Amino acid sequence: MVGVLSVQRLPRCHRPLKLACSRKPGRACALQAAEKPLAMEVGPDSPGPDRIERSGRMPLIQQPGKGGTMAADIEKKLRAAEKQYFKLREKMAAWRRQLPAEPVQDHAFTGTSGRKVKLSQLFGKHDHLILVHHMGPQCPYCTLWADGYSGQTYFIEKKAAFVVAAPKPVRVLAKAAKERGWKFKLVSDEGGEFAKRMGFWSAPGDSWDGPLPGVSVLARKGRKIERVSRDFFGPGDPYCPAFHFFDLLPADKA
């Protein structure tokens, strides 16, 4: 097993959706993907988050009057913090890419059709596979995350294969996918053997005994499979946009 991730920052599935950071998302709502994906190509000249991040600037509304000086001071601090934030994100991404590759066995999963499917087959036409370690549909956190990136699957798969694996029976996963309209490929890792091998399982002595949510990025080189990057999921991470919208709400609503 390649390193065990800490459980301290991760949610517990057997509890209601309650965030330690006092954010209250309420219920997880499904973000249904469009029946016909938009014909959208993302390139270096496309307007979007990448260009905003590089500039480190946000639109400023001029507020004349008594509070104008205070607003300008806060905006100045926000801009400085945003620049630091985006620079740090770039550094973290670069550091992750420098991690040594880890060999991964060609594990056999069970697809929602009930047939066995090997890890190598999940790559499809791609050389890279983004595999999400999902705790199961019983977890409101994991369901919230999955509802979000379900709508992004079409665009993600332009660059890499995208699969979600959960240590639950096929019938449970198939039922959840149908009810929530998930568009991504889903496989069963019943018993959690693959999750344990990849380090996405609690360590002995942790307060939580079970799977941990996160993502592994795998590369296929001939017949060999390697993990080239990984990350874990938790409230406020970059993989669930809802939390970032909550940050924009007034304090009594966040």
Percentage, residues of the chain above pLDDT 70: 73
Of the pLDDT bands very low, low, confident and very high (cuts 50, 70, 90), residue 41 is very low
pLDDT per residue as tens digits for the range 58-90 = 555 555 555 678 888 999 999 999 999 999 999
Find the mean pLDDT for residues 163-188: 96
Q: Is the pLDDT of residue 210 over 60?
A: yes
Together in a domain, 83 and 155: no
pLDDT at 254: 64
Domain ranges, residue 178: 101-243
Mean pLDDT of the chain: 80
Together in a domain, 75 and 105: no
pLDDT at 29: 35
Q: What is the sign of the dihedral through the CA atoms of 78, 79, 85 and 89? A: positive
Between 38 and 183, where is the model more confident? 183
Q: Which of 4-13, 90-99, 106-115 has the lowest mean pLDDT?
A: 4-13
Specify the CATH number for the domain of residue 211: 3.40.30.10
Tokens of 170: 């096929």
- As a whole number of angstroms, the distance between CA 64 and CA 230 comes to 47
- As a whole number of angstroms, the distance between CA 40 and CA 170 comes to 33
Q: Is the pTM of this model over 0.85?
A: no
Cβ–Cβ contacts within 10 Å for residue 83, how many? 15
What one-character DSSP code corresponds to residue 190? T
pLDDT at 31: 32
Number of domains in the chain: 2
Question: Does any domain span residue 214?
Answer: yes
